[in-house]
Structure 1
Amino acid sequence: MRLLAQRDHSEVELRRKLAAQNAAEEDVEQCIAYCYEHHWLDDGRFAERYVVLRSQKGYGAQRIQQELMMKGISRTTIRDTLQESAVDWENLARKTAHKRFGPVLPGAWQERAKVQRFLLYRGFFLEEIQSVFSDSAD
């Protein structure tokens, strides 16, 4: 229970942490069942909170999706969570670019490529990145 008190975990994460503590398989299953019974463990809720947390730190949907998959969240849960999220990904990409490179984005193609690589690394889709440059050109 101490693990869940610190932050939300996915079922896969919790299983890994319990196994790392050399817990017996039977004890792990009982613990997981108990957590589900008391609504302490919910992959959907975990995914929602994770999307909010990571988007507030300037990460795009593509990177968040990859991270959630590594944490054992199903593709359908990830897809539904990202579709239902209230995050404006284009606006977030713009804010992230301006925070890193200043309010006026560079016009030279070498510098623009640097901005694009940074936003791709952060997990934004190409359409969102292009909208950052099309809005700044207006």
Structure 2
Amino acid sequence: MRLLARREHSRRELLDKLRARGFAPAAAEAAVARLAAEGLQSERRFAEALVRERIARGHGPRRIEAELAQRGVAGELAAEVMAAAEVDWVRLAREVARRRFRGPAGDRREWLRRARHLAGRGFTGEQVRAALGGDEGMATGDDGTGWT
């Protein structure tokens, strides 16, 4: 209960933490199953909270999906939660780029540096190109500000 009082946890996280604290695997399984049955632990609630937090931090879909998988959220549930988030990933990538970089990329090297940054945050190649204006958008953007 103390673990769940601080933040949502996935089933796998709770099991790992209980085992690390010396609980027998069967006892840990029983405790987590009871918490889930009582509605105190929910994979969906955990996944939704994690997705919201990571979007707020400016992470892209690839990174969020990988983190969900790492924390034991099933692929089908992860896909449902990601779809329900209804995020404009290109817009989010643009916002991340605006916060991180000033003005347009002056040359190809700078454009590539920005693209690597966005890709490292979990945005797809298509989202990165759209956010940075493609190779053509290096000097000026569609709105004349240097950002598209």
Output the TM-score relative to the length of structure 1. 0.94
C-alpha distance in 2 between matches for 1:122 and 1:69? 16
CA contact (8 A) 1:11 1:32 kept: yes
Q: Which residue of 1 aligns with 2:141?
A: 137
Letter in 2 for 1:94: R
Higher-Rg member (1/2): 2
Q: Does 1:114 align with 2:113?
A: yes
Using the TM superposition, give the Cα deviation of residue 86 of structure 1 relative to its aligned residue in structure 2, in angstroms: 2.5
Q: Which residue of 2 aligns with 1:89?
A: 89
User: Which deviates more, 6-15 or 72-81?
Assistant: 72-81
CA contact (8 A) 2:115 2:132 kept: no
C-alpha distance in 2 between matches for 1:43 and 1:105? 41
Q: 1:7-58: CA deviations, max 9, x gaps?
A: 0000000000000011022321221121012111111111111011011001
User: Which deviates more, 73-82 or 115-124?
Assistant: 73-82
CA contact (8 A) 1:98 1:105 kept: no
C-alpha distance in 2 between matches for 1:52 and 1:107? 33
Q: Which SS does the other structure have where 2:123 is aligned? A: coil
Residue segments in structure 1 that go unaligned for 5+ positions in a row: none
CA contact (8 A) 1:68 1:78 kept: yes
More helix by proportion, 1 or 2?
Answer: 1
Using the TM superposition, give the Cα deviation of residue 128 of structure 1 relative to its aligned residue in structure 2, in angstroms: 1.0
Q: Which residue of 1 aligns with 2:36?
A: 36
C-alpha distance in 1 between matches for 2:99 and 2:25? 47
Letter in 2 for 1:122: R
After TM superposition, the runs of 4+ consecutive aligned structure 1 residues lying more than 3 A away are none
Q: Which SS does the other structure have where 1:137 is aligned? A: coil
Letter in 2 for 1:117: R
Q: Which residue of 2 aligns with 1:2?
A: 2
C-alpha distance in 1 between matches for 2:104 and 2:131? 9
Tell me the percent identity.
34
Q: Which residue of 2 aligns with 1:75?
A: 75
Q: Which SS does the other structure have where 2:116 is aligned? A: helix
Residue segments in structure 2 that go unaligned for 5+ positions in a row: 143-148
Q: 1:52-72: CA deviations, max 9, x gaps?
A: 101100100100111111101
